[in-house]
Structure 1
Amino acid sequence: MTKARYFQLILILGSMTALGPFSIDMYLPGFSGIAADLNTTVAKVSMSLSSYFIGISAGQLLYGPLLDRFGRKRPLFIGLMVYILASLGCAFVTDIDTFIGLRFVQAVGSCAATVASLAMVRDLFPAKETPNVLSKLMLVVGLSPMLAPTAGGYVTTYFGWHTVFLILAAMGAFVLLATQLGLPDTHKPDTSISLKPKPIITNFISILKVPQFHTYAFTGAVAFSGLFTYVAASPIIFMDILKVDAETYGWIFAIMSVSFIGSSQLNSVLLRRFTSEQMIFTALISQSVISFIFLILAFNDLLGLYETIGMLFLFLACLGISNPNTAGLSLAPFSKNTGSASALMGATQLGIGALASFGVSLFVKDAITPMVVIMTSTTILALVILIFGKSKIKKTIVSSSDDAVMVH
């Protein structure tokens, strides 16, 4: 594979995975405007974030078997068309309940790109290279929380929040063209895979029973729910409690993404000297210490704007290290059922993320402490899952015996 082709694949796969984060982040500065236009509260608008997480979680389980049965590109095309139409619907909505419902549909469409990108990484690259490739994708994905809220803040200020969803529809169209024209269909349709409910559920259960999968998938998902907690709480924390405007909020979000991008790229360098297992454990221990300090500061009312930004910056840096490694080790044992395995991993991550964001909408009203309590609890739980789960893994697989072949 040439360097140019490698770069092209990373860019297209990165754009696929970035579509979801853009859909989550870009409309956040418009929460107040949406609440005013649709005659509701900011807390009710935040339910549209929870519905998006629920949709993308459920949709992952739908697309996993479809990607294994029909190949990667056909389900991807259909999903992106659903995403484009739902985005257009969000731009012209007139009531909050319809908006929440359309966000669910938009999520179901977008997660076709998310699941397909993970499966295609496993198709295109050897399993032992997966954590490194995923770290590179994080660079592309990491730009979305840097650019999306900042751009969303300016778009919302000058053109209104409706325009955000027109831009998202245009992005969906771009990703659709890029994937159809620039990617090979890396997986031939497999007619042996049934789409009946019972075999699909049996297949998911067989994947879930693999100790390496459930240990690292659940460790990663529970730890990563801290990011969803931050995303869901940030409009309330920064704009309502700490009183920053939409444009400033966008820039704060951009600063936070520097932490996530930087640490995910540092992960690529550190993998030359340390194993993924060592990286995950160290990141979770660090995240636990940071969470406890954050919690002490919150309980003692010592968190102003800069202190909150600083603690969140350190917290997100730990996630940038752990996430690509938990994802890589979760998928490593699989080759035949990669689509289903990546879908189950994604559904687990986003399902737990949806619960965390729902908790934010219930408890985070006029104080920072509930957000920090949720983040600390999930971090400790992730560490417990890792410690107990590793004791059941006889030997960690870093590449399956049926390794993917690099596509030229």
Structure 2
Amino acid sequence: MTAPTRKPSGTLALELLLGALTAFAPLSIDMYLPALPSIGTEFQSTPAAVQLTLASFFAGLAIGQFTTGPLIDRFGRTRPLRVGIALYVLGSLGCAIAPGTAVLVAMRFVQALGGAVAIVVSRAVVRDLWSGVEAARTMSRLVLVMGVAPILAPLFGGFVLRLLGWRAIFAALAIVGTLALAAVVKVLPETAPPRSGPRTMASEMAALLGAADFLGPALACAFIQAGMFAYISGASFVFITLHGVSPQHFGWFFGTNALGLVSLSQLNRRLLVTHPPQRILRWALVLSVVAASCVLLVAWSGAFGLWGMAAALFFFVSTLGLVMPNATALALEKHASRAGLASAVLGALQYAIAASASWAVSALYNGTATPMGAVLATVAALAWVAHFLASRSRALPSPEPEREAA
């Protein structure tokens, strides 16, 4: 493990800020989930049409992250971040005044473009300052901060919805963005390493996508995160519409699952003391496949009703606390010189696949929880396959050393 090169003072405040920036996406999603039925009622839209506001957000995150990576490698971390947060605030205000579903879908896309910059920069800064096991431990700490959003956001969103209506939720997100921008100006230093000569985007991308040590954990993280957002897309329907949970109580179910994710992310920090991140990731993906299969079985059979579904989803979401920190750290480990691009491609893969998973839940809608369960089981299996194939590729002996030995 190499030592961090520019670790600034005030590390705790920096980690809290990075966790908050990483939380932009879950905060922007989870706060308005209890309002999805109300939005559909006001705009007289179907559940499938309203769920497009989620799909457009995922698409904006994917495109925004992909375009952000080269920018922050060229212009540094702080200047693009400030512009991105300002765009997030404007998109949030646009959502608050949207006159219909189409405008809301478009403004969610703009909001996501700005939020994507925050996510990419936070991961790149971690790779700028830490590496190896310490990077995985730092990612686990960020998950702890990020995990507060899914716990508190649905509760706060339900409260705001009941008191002021769904539009006030997006006004609150604009305020959060404004506060984050002020914190970035005060706390975040420039951490980007000096550029080492001219490099083309095509050559950097080719080197990145040709590296099994990046692509394997990146795809594993992307597929498993797609499962998370498939769950988010279907959760309000499954709990509120299908099982009759009130919008206010829905936040407790959602927050409990987020608490499971946070708890396992902190267990991951302890496991990293004695186990390498590669081993933890391998077994965590197996657990994710088992958990997603349980969700599908409960959804298909209806076994144990609401509490059976709640338990299976808690099992699945909790495993993400082991998968995401280790997969993210492993994907970025060997690519410090292109940390911005690597973070961007990692995020773009995550949210492009997440958008597809969210769309699939909507497209397969049949009035039951089975579509959500089927998507979860599929993406969990694909995550395991991606990691397994990449591990086998890295384990194969290189032909050049064999010829030299001969």
Aligned residue number for residue 16 of structure 1: 21
* AA partner of residue 227 (structure 2): G
SS at match of 1:336: helix
1:249-260 alignment runs, 5 A limit: 249-260=250-261
Aligned residue number for residue 309 of structure 1: 310
Q: Displacement of 1:65 after TM fit?
A: 0.4
Aligned residue number for residue 241 of structure 2: 240
* Alignment equivalent of 1:40, drawn from 29, 33, 45: 45
Distance 2:264 2:190 in 1: 32
Distance 1:102 1:2, change over 3 A: closer
Aligned residue number for residue 377 of structure 2: 376
Aligned residue number for residue 358 of structure 1: 359
Note if contact 1:70-1:190 (Cα within 8 Å) is conserved in structure 2. Answer: no
Gaps of 5+ in 2: 1-5, 397-406
More displaced, 316-325 or 201-210?
201-210
SS at match of 1:94: coil
Q: Quote the sequence identity (%).
A: 35
Q: Displacement of 1:202 after TM fit?
A: 3.5
* Alignment equivalent of 1:69, drawn from 59, 64, 74: 74
Distance 2:41 2:373 in 1: 28
Note if contact 1:215-1:389 (Cα within 8 Å) is conserved in structure 2. Answer: yes
TM-score by length of 1: 0.92
Q: Displacement of 1:388 after TM fit?
A: 1.4
1:167 correspondence with 2:168 = no
Aligned residue number for residue 279 of structure 1: 280
Distance 1:330 1:387 in 2: 14
* Alignment equivalent of 2:188, drawn from 170, 173, 183: 183
Q: Displacement of 1:382 after TM fit?
A: 1.4
Distance 1:338 1:329 in 2: 12
Q: Displacement of 1:384 after TM fit?
A: 1.5
Q: Displacement of 1:189 after TM fit?
A: 6.6
Gaps of 5+ in 1: 396-408
Note if contact 1:30-1:153 (Cα within 8 Å) is conserved in structure 2. Answer: yes
1:50 correspondence with 2:51 = no
* AA partner of residue 274 (structure 2): R
Distance 1:148 1:391 in 2: 40
Aligned residue number for residue 349 of structure 2: 348
More displaced, 385-394 or 67-76?
385-394
Distance 1:12 1:216 in 2: 25
More displaced, 294-303 or 93-102?
294-303
Distance 2:290 2:74 in 1: 44
Distance 1:24 1:280, change over 3 A: same
Q: Displacement of 1:246 after TM fit?
A: 0.8
1:105 correspondence with 2:110 = yes
Q: Displacement of 1:300 after TM fit?
A: 2.2
* Alignment equivalent of 1:118, drawn from 120, 123, 133: 123
Between the two proteins, the alignment pairs up a number of residues equal to 391
Note if contact 2:299-2:309 (Cα within 8 Å) is conserved in structure 1. Answer: no
Note if contact 2:133-2:272 (Cα within 8 Å) is conserved in structure 1. Answer: no
RMSD between superposed Cα atoms in Å: 1.8
Note if contact 1:71-1:189 (Cα within 8 Å) is conserved in structure 2. Answer: no
TM-score by length of 2: 0.93
Aligned residue number for residue 143 of structure 1: 148
Q: Displacement of 1:297 after TM fit?
A: 2.8
Q: Displacement of 1:303 after TM fit?
A: 4.4
Q: Displacement of 1:180 after TM fit?
A: 1.4
1:126-151, CA deviations, whole angstroms, 9 ceiling, x for partnerless residues? 34411100000000000100011110
Aligned residue number for residue 400 of structure 1: none
Distance 1:51 1:325, change over 3 A: same
Note if contact 2:131-2:333 (Cα within 8 Å) is conserved in structure 1. Answer: no
Distance 2:234 2:30 in 1: 12
* AA partner of residue 105 (structure 2): I
1:285-324 alignment runs, 5 A limit: 285-324=286-325
Distance 1:394 1:334 in 2: 19
* AA partner of residue 79 (structure 1): G
